[in-house]
Amino acid sequence: MHRLLSAVTVRAATPGGQAWGCGRRRAHQRAGLLPLGHGWVGGLGLGLGLALGVKLAGGLRGATPAQPPAAADPEASPQAEPQEQSLAPWSPQSPAPPPSRCFARAIESSRDLLHRIKDEVGAPGIVVGVSVDGKEVWSEGLGYADVENRVPCKPETVMRIASISKSLTMVALAKLWEAGKLDLDIPVQHYVPEFPEKEYEGEKVSVTTRLLISHLSGIRHYEKDMKKVKEEKAYKALKMMKGMVASDQEKEGKSNEKNDFAKAKTEQDNEAKCRNSKPGKKKNDFEQGELYLKEKFENSIESLRLFKNDPLFFKPGSQFLYSTFGYTLLAAIVERASGYKYLDYMQKIFHDLDMLTTVQEENEPVIYNRARFYVYNKKRRLVNTPYVDNSYKWAGGGFLSTVGDLLKFGNAMLYGYQVGLFKDSNENLLPGYLKPETMVMIWTPVPNTEMSWDKEGKYAMAWGVVEKKQTYGSCRKQRHYVSHTGGAVGASSVLLVLPEELDTEAVNNKVPPRGVIVSIICNMQSVGLNSTALKIALEFDKDRSD
């Protein structure tokens, strides 16, 4: 009894007890009652202790003898449901909902990976979202959405998604193609006569919608110097050829002395060509003036004047040249084929996909939870990015969104891609937003293309695609996945879809979408996020399989 009363009395006098008493005292004062003194707290604690002691003593009189319980550690905190931790000022982090138990390991390892990436590149803030089989299982923000005002990132944070906008535009083109309103293989002048007919090296050539989608049209990107672009392409091709020759030599093994001498001479010649053809220093995209345009364009047709009279850099269909301006022309095609303004048509699609926080980026509207965007200056100091107007490239890089909306978009695409496999086992499934044959076309690699963010892949139709591949037994196995990355002024992004490997027997008792989707957005430019997203997707796929 003495120990019990002592414990109660001591607890009443602890800082925790005092804080509780202070809270009660403030509530007491708000109610208009007399203020309570410090003595009231101690008296209450003593009174409660005496009352409890009397009740225990009364109960023990009539109880049968029993072994006394082990003495409780007075320092141990009472067991309770886990509470959300308060955010430390030096490490902002949005309170995450209780994770699904089956993905706790994947969440912990993925969070650690993101912290490492964030620290490595010095990004102010980063937001991640993951869905498994159509259900969002994790979303969290790390760091700051607004450094100046100390606003932490959270799942609702809105950021620039940059070139993921191209994948959104592809949905508009696909819907028009499915409805018979758009022919992908006729010259674009059929829809947009304002875009002049083109010639390449004196020969009349055709630019089609299909070529524009896969960056095979020859229309320039931000670099205007054709010579620099061609030199860089030739240099890359020569390096690739050199690598292929080396690989072939390794496979062939040892040869006779004569052949060895010939191969050595060929290698030396290639190296000399490589050195002599090495291009001069080419500006990266963030050094190009057009990336920082401040002019507002009223519609896509008006935006064409930035590049419509420039010569083609390559013959259409012959070489891959990533071009955001090509998607500006695609936006004009959407307008003419649909009869709606491009942004109006896209908002209808966003409504259908339940992407309610995805909008075009404009300076004037108040957009809740919009982040600020940052870059490091020459002195390696964090600064705000300059004001830019993205109205000239809505279709290729002008939208804002959240990780949650991007997950919805990814799941809608994955559902359409897989639903055809499930129709025989489940006739009650709803159709996908795009037909299965359309999604197969969109996610099929296109010849002569490149996937800059993963050399294993090819570009398809507004998505990069890496196909399933395994060269050696019990060695690295490349999973099939699709993704698109984005880089804008003060922002980086990625949306990655890792479909489940399905066969005819695997679809029984399952419904689409089946797979893992990861979206990451960041308010710092030039942050490569595709490999991080793939690692996260594989972590969740592992827990999902287990």
b/e for 502-535, b at 16 or more Cβ within 10 A?
A: eeeeebeeebbbbbbbbbbbbbbbebebbebbbe
| 3-state SS, one letter per residue, for 458-503 | EECCCCEEECCECCCCCCCCECCEEEEEEEECCEEEEEEEEECCCC
What tokens appear for 543 in the block? 């827990």
What tokens appear for 48 in the block? 């409660």
350 secondary structure, DSSP code: H
- Identify which of 357, 324, 328, 325 has the alpha carbon closest to the alpha carbon of residue 342: 328
CA 462/CA 172 separation, integer angstroms: 12
CA 111/CA 199 separation, integer angstroms: 52
CA 318/CA 325 separation, integer angstroms: 18
Q: Would you call 163 a catalytic residue per the annotation?
A: yes
Residue type at 17 in one-letter notation: G
Strand-pair partners of 384: 374
Contacts of 137 (CB under 8 A, 6+ apart): 99, 100, 103, 107, 130, 131, 540
CA 496/CA 530 separation, integer angstroms: 8
- Identify which of 169, 168, 174 has the alpha carbon closest to the alpha carbon of residue 408: 168
81 secondary structure, DSSP code: P
The helix (run of H) or strand (run of E) holding residue 129 is: strand 125-132
Contacts of 403 (CB under 8 A, 6+ apart): 127, 128, 129, 139, 155, 519, 520, 521
Active-site entry in 94, 139, 163, 300: 163
Q: Give the Cβ contact number of residue 206 at 10 Å.
A: 15
Angle formed by the axes of helices 324-338 and 164-178, to 10°?
30
The vertex-375 CA angle with 373 and 376, nearest 5°, equals 155
Q: Give the Cβ contact number of residue 105 at 10 Å.
A: 15
Q: Is residue 492 classed exposed, middle or buried when 0-12, 13-18 and 19+ CB atoms within 10 A define those classes?
A: buried
For residues 138 and 130, the answer to whether their CB atoms sit within 8 Å is yes
- Terminal alpha carbon distance of the chain: 52
Query: Which residue, chain included where needed, has tokens 């005002």?
Result: 149
Q: Give catalytic residues, as residue numbers.
A: 163
